[in-house]
Structure 1
Amino acid sequence: MKFILFKKLHFFILAVGLAVLFSQCQQATNTPYEPTTIVNPILPGFYPDPSVCAGEDGYYMVHSTFGYFPGIPIFYSPDLVHWEQIGHVLNRPEQVQFEGLGLGNEAIFAPTIEYHNGTYYVACTEVWGRGNFVVSAQDPSDPWSNPTFFPEVSGIDPSLVFDEDKVYMVYNSDAPDNTPLYEGHRTIRLYELDMDEKVVVGEPTILVNGGVDISEEPVWIEGPHIYHIDGMYYLSAAEGGTSVNHRQVIFRSEDIRGPYVPWEKNPILTQMHLDPNRPNPITSTGHADLIQDLEGNWWSVFLACRPYEGNHYNTGRETFMAPVRWEDGWPVINPDFEEVQYTYAFNSALKNLEEIRPLNGNFTLRDDFTRDELDMTWVHIRVPDRPWYQIDAPGGVLSMELLPGEKMLESSPSFIGRRQQHLVSSATTAIEFTPQTEDHKAGIAILQKENRFYYLCQSLENGQPVVQLFRSNAESSLYELELMASALLEGDGQAPLQLRIESDHDTYTFSFSEDGQTWSTIGGEQDARFLSTQSAGGFVGCLYGLYTVSLGDSDADIRADYHWFEYSGDDEIY
């Protein structure tokens, strides 16, 4: 059977042409492809809700970011296996309105990316903000347009469908007549769009009510995609909520507006029935998108989690990839296994590609701050209202002002973070800082959201320089820190102070060094479950962050200088 994925038609035709051309060659050495291995997660750490498309020169993938800025990271791969980040879709303050929105459960939800007639489109939702929107770009690395909002589209997880001469938006929405039969009762709906006038056309059509079988009260059907394949419209969506009951289901119809019939063998992907005590579990699989490789083989990218105990995980919802096989006209994800695998054979990798920075597996990455701009892996909490940090690239120094602690709650604190991507990891930095009062603090944090973080910092106690370990007060609506431990600094302060946080599944440990050789721990082992999604809630994972703060009411006329930052991950599965 020859499948044609309509919304990715342009690049697929090119890929099929290449495959046919090279299949006619007699010598295997003439093929542009070589076998390799998919290593899961393909994007570890807080990179949830993946959406992928094929464009003019390869594949592009985007992910949700909630209250972090820049928003929606975009990754490029020439062959669906070698990925590198090329930018962010939302990287200008005028594109977003995050002030006052929750960091881990509001703002930018699941995006989708499509390519059509030379233009890339991303549809997304600014939750508890301005609603559903579309941005576009000719070059997916930058710049993307300001958002066009569609206020009539009520719900989340919009996805565009380009079908012949029409454009549609399929999305999660309210129950019929906004009258749910049970908690979590949602619908999948379709609106036609006029992309020239940037308005909706007509009224929405309900495609799916509740889920596969409404008599079983399925909850939170969401993340829809529509694919036009061999004359049939396939609607793929997630059910069960983005936790242990997550599952991917499939429907199809001869008409884009339905009626859609569910497959009798649904779900097409889930791990909900497996033993939760199995070794190295992968859970919560769903929110999948389908794609073909350069030889026409089908694959799926989807989110999943790696808990270390029960449903506790700190790395967030991560992006995985698995093969797809068509059975009797229906796609099945991970068809040869019950458990999602950490590795899969992949035979369509391009040869002779330049080596790029590793994004998965075990690795160590160091930032010496020798570029004029921050690396793309760094993000802020919401949108900074002014430039409070500076980079001295020739000197290799990142200099950060101290901002009031209350900015953490609804605004943008002086925090620059990058994702925790391994269960076993470490983050280390070197800092020069001369606090003037006990309210002045600078150091490194491991953070899940506004009121869930540990903070290792340099400060003063009774006029003496100290290292302090704080834990945020998760029960307070105010910005409050609880002192867990402190240690007097004994050196002469000539060398930068080094600070380190290490994760080991369910614990974090904290240490410091005044000479870069001798390390002292502080505070003993701290409970990592304090920062797990199960405990903290929301939809994000943890970030290691450089963090400076003044506990007073105003900005402090003082800076902390960071000389470098190093992240290292060493998970046993690799």
Structure 2
Amino acid sequence: MKKTKISCILASALLAFSAQTAGAQAASAAKAPATVAHTALFDYFSYSGDDDIYKKVKLEGEGGFYNPILPGWYSDPSICRVGDDYFMVTSSFSYYPGVPLFHSKDLVNWKQISYILDRPSQLPLAGQKVSAGIFAPAISYNPHNKTFYMVTTNVGWGNFFVKTKDPFGSWSEPIRLPDVKGIDPSFFFDDDGKAYIVNNDEPEGKAEYDGHRAIRVREFDVNTDKTVGPEKILVNKGVHPEDKPIWIEGPHMYKINGKYFLMSAEGGTSDMHSEVIFRSDSPFGPFVPAKKNPILTQRDLDPNRIDPVTCAGHADLVQTPSGDWWAVFLACRPCEGKFENLGRETFLLPVSWTDEGFPLILEQGKTVPMTGNVKGAVRGKNVTFGNFAYNDDFSEKTLPLDWFSLRGPVDSICSTNAVPGYLSMKCIETTTAEKAVPAYVGRRIQHHKFECSSRLVFEPQTVNERAGMLLFKDETHQYLLCVAKTSAGKAVELRKTADGGKDEILASSALAKADKDIRLKIVSRGLTFDFYYAVGKGEWKLLKNNVDAGFLSTRNAGGFTGTTIGLYATRG
């Protein structure tokens, strides 16, 4: 796999990237291949972030890091440690492959090593909307059989888990859990060899109000891979049942100093999100809540604060070899406090302990800090956070792990082997407005302000054929900068896909018949997008500026993912 070129925001790094990208573009202009019928050829894909926060807030010390540690849509993080190896997963919903797996030796330097669900037999997603699919994966290690487990919910299929002895290798076929209902299952392996699954589910009887949920537990037999014995409700409603708390979910269980701790999210995944914790002498309870709950939230802060972090919750705990505790959790960074195109991101904070003996991620009333420091860690050049640059010239036989598709593999329609040095993409009838597998490969946007470009060699054959760069939130919230066939000839178009999946052409510029070599560029200024194109080696031309970025936000569109950006072709 080709490695992503990532660096912190240093002026020299950005200058190097600019020079490299310019060189790649100049070289590519000299190698324009012949067009292939009904096929778009993408020469390169470049992306560079330029967020202001990383310029005004500097890192301190060798182990310094920026929050979020995984910027862009990396929601519902779960973490475990074996020896000095940390492994972390996040939700993938209806993108394919599923459940990105990250590895670190020190909590600061993270690298994606695979996708856990990397074949169709593990990941049935047909017909599911983008915000369906895989919810809240939880990764755990059982020292008694030296096996890693990843358990999750496929909302169109049910709860299941996969396992492996080698997290750097392949994972098993799915093992379904028909007796575990609801969502957000998580394993707990006790030191006596017993195992349990905790999960979110409906309460017993009829729910008293919208959002009334419960946390349940069942014992699990690692020898038969099945649940055993009765199910029991551990928490009904939440910390303060009299206040009718909503959406108790995302549970994790731990045993610390002989006590059992149950940690869950509460309040829903929006601005009222939080993390709460309970303690018991038994995995079957009764569980008593901490007095200082919630142990993490941002809901009580001034909504007009500068550079707000919101929606904090859905956490998981991990202990370092030296005995320190840390938490990973999701939160959002709304652009200028207005909307969250980046989606829910993964943050990292140290954990303290209260006099009552409960873990505390963040004192109420305090803001999530944008920087932190892990003692003993040494920050490398290829970190996942800060302003960084990325360039792919499609010279490898397979796409790097940054890329993904929708609902299934696209090997038969997208290839880096058909035309060397290019990503070739067939114009198929499927569109990204459908709950199917379109000719689309994307990656997360990870900055409010960024610049992204690509070079396209393409000759559309029919009026329906188009190919280009796509900003994609879901089936009904998209912007496409493309080369298209029109009734009058050929043009560069900016299309907006909205409710009903129908396209509106926001801007169009005619191309000459001989114009088959086109460069496309999207510039995000945070609240707005600017769209450019260039013919051959020509200068950039503005197609349309000040296009509303909020159209793609969760606040406007809903759903659980952030915006992705990528390459797309269709004749639908």
Quickly name the TM-score band, shorter chain normalised.
Answer: 0.7 to 0.9
Task: Supply the distance in 2 between the matched residues of 1:462 and 1:150 (Cα, whole angstroms).
Answer: 54
TM-score (norm 1): 0.86
Task: Supply the distance in 2 between the matched residues of 1:363 and 1:140 (Cα, whole angstroms).
Answer: 28
Q: Does 1:259 align with 2:281?
A: no
Pick the aligned partner of 1:116 from 142, 150, 165: 142
Task: Supply the distance in 2 between the matched residues of 1:113 and 1:356 (Cα, whole angstroms).
Answer: 27
Alignment CA distance shift 1:330-1:74 (3 Å): same
Q: Residue type matched to 2:406 in 1?
A: I
Task: Supply the distance in 1 between the matched residues of 2:263 and 2:282 (Cα, whole angstroms).
Answer: 15
2:298, 2:365 within 8 Å by CA — same for their partners in 1?
A: no
**1:280-304 CA distance string (max 9 Å, x none):** 1000000001112342211110000
Q: Does 1:192 align with 2:214?
A: no
Task: Supply the distance in 2 between the matched residues of 1:120 and 1:222 (Cα, whole angstroms).
Answer: 22
Task: Supply the distance in 2 between the matched residues of 1:255 and 1:193 (Cα, whole angstroms).
Answer: 15
Pick the aligned partner of 1:438 from 463, 471, 482: 463
Task: Supply the distance in 2 between the matched residues of 1:97 and 1:49 (Cα, whole angstroms).
Answer: 20
1:369, 1:392 within 8 Å by CA — same for their partners in 2?
A: no
1:193, 1:199 within 8 Å by CA — same for their partners in 2?
A: yes
Question: Structure 1: which 5+ runs fail to align?
Answer: 1-33, 552-574
Task: Supply the distance in 2 between the matched residues of 1:226 and 1:441 (Cα, whole angstroms).
Answer: 50
Task: Supply the distance in 2 between the matched residues of 1:357 and 1:344 (Cα, whole angstroms).
Answer: 17
Structure 2 equivalent of residue 222 of structure 1? 249
Deviation at 1:275?
Answer: 0.8
2:414, 2:423 within 8 Å by CA — same for their partners in 1?
A: yes
Question: Structure 2: which 5+ runs fail to align?
Answer: 1-60
SS of alignment partner, residue 121 of structure 2: helix
Task: Supply the distance in 2 between the matched residues of 1:55 and 1:256 (Cα, whole angstroms).
Answer: 22
2:109, 2:383 within 8 Å by CA — same for their partners in 1?
A: no
User: Which of 1 and 2 has higher RCO (CA within 8 Å, sep 6+)?
Assistant: 2
Deviates more, 1:50-59 or 1:402-411: 402-411
Alignment CA distance shift 1:203-1:284 (3 Å): same
Q: Residue type matched to 1:143 in 2?
A: S
Task: Supply the distance in 1 between the matched residues of 2:88 and 2:411 (Cα, whole angstroms).
Answer: 30
Structure 2 equivalent of residue 342 of structure 1? 370
2:103, 2:113 within 8 Å by CA — same for their partners in 1?
A: yes
Pick the aligned partner of 1:429 from 454, 472, 483: 454
1:477-556 matched pairs, under 5 angstroms? 479-490=501-512, 492-493=514-515, 496-516=517-537, 518-551=539-572
Pick the aligned partner of 1:36 from 63, 75, 82: 63
Deviation at 1:407?
Answer: 6.1
Structure 1 equivalent of residue 422 of structure 2? 397
**1:251-295 CA distance string (max 9 Å, x none):** 000111000000111110110010111111000000001112342
Structure 1 equivalent of residue 3 of structure 2? none
2:112, 2:401 within 8 Å by CA — same for their partners in 1?
A: yes
Deviation at 1:525?
Answer: 1.6
2:109, 2:384 within 8 Å by CA — same for their partners in 1?
A: no
1:379, 1:417 within 8 Å by CA — same for their partners in 2?
A: yes
Structure 2 equivalent of residue 27 of structure 1? none
**1:210-254 CA distance string (max 9 Å, x none):** 000110000000111111001100111110000100011110001
Sequence identity, in percent? 43
1:21-170 matched pairs, under 5 angstroms? 35-104=62-131, 106-117=132-143, 118-127=146-155, 129-163=156-190, 164-170=192-198
Number of equivalenced pairs: 508
Task: Supply the distance in 2 between the matched residues of 1:49 and 1:91 (Cα, whole angstroms).
Answer: 19
Structure 1 equivalent of residue 8 of structure 2? none
Task: Supply the distance in 2 between the matched residues of 1:142 and 1:481 (Cα, whole angstroms).
Answer: 42
Deviates more, 1:423-432 or 1:190-199: 190-199
**1:131-151 CA distance string (max 9 Å, x none):** 111101122123011111111
Deviation at 1:395?
Answer: 2.8
Task: Supply the distance in 2 between the matched residues of 1:336 and 1:258 (Cα, whole angstroms).
Answer: 27
Q: Does 1:176 align with 2:209?
A: no
Deviation at 1:459?
Answer: 1.3
CA RMSD of aligned residues (A): 1.7
Alignment CA distance shift 1:37-1:317 (3 Å): same
Deviation at 1:426?
Answer: 1.9
Deviation at 1:374?
Answer: 0.8
Q: Does 1:415 align with 2:415?
A: no
Task: Supply the distance in 1 between the matched residues of 2:374 and 2:336 (Cα, whole angstroms).
Answer: 31
Deviation at 1:473?
Answer: 2.3
Q: Residue type matched to 1:213 in 2?
A: H
Deviation at 1:90?
Answer: 0.5
Deviation at 1:419?
Answer: 0.3
Structure 2 equivalent of residue 26 of structure 1? none
TM-score (norm 2): 0.86
Task: Supply the distance in 1 between the matched residues of 2:74 and 2:321 (Cα, whole angstroms).
Answer: 24
Deviation at 1:384?
Answer: 3.4
Q: Does 1:467 align with 2:495?
A: no
1:265-284 matched pairs, under 5 angstroms? 265-284=292-311
Deviates more, 1:541-550 or 1:389-398: 389-398
1:283-322 matched pairs, under 5 angstroms? 283-310=310-337, 312-322=339-349
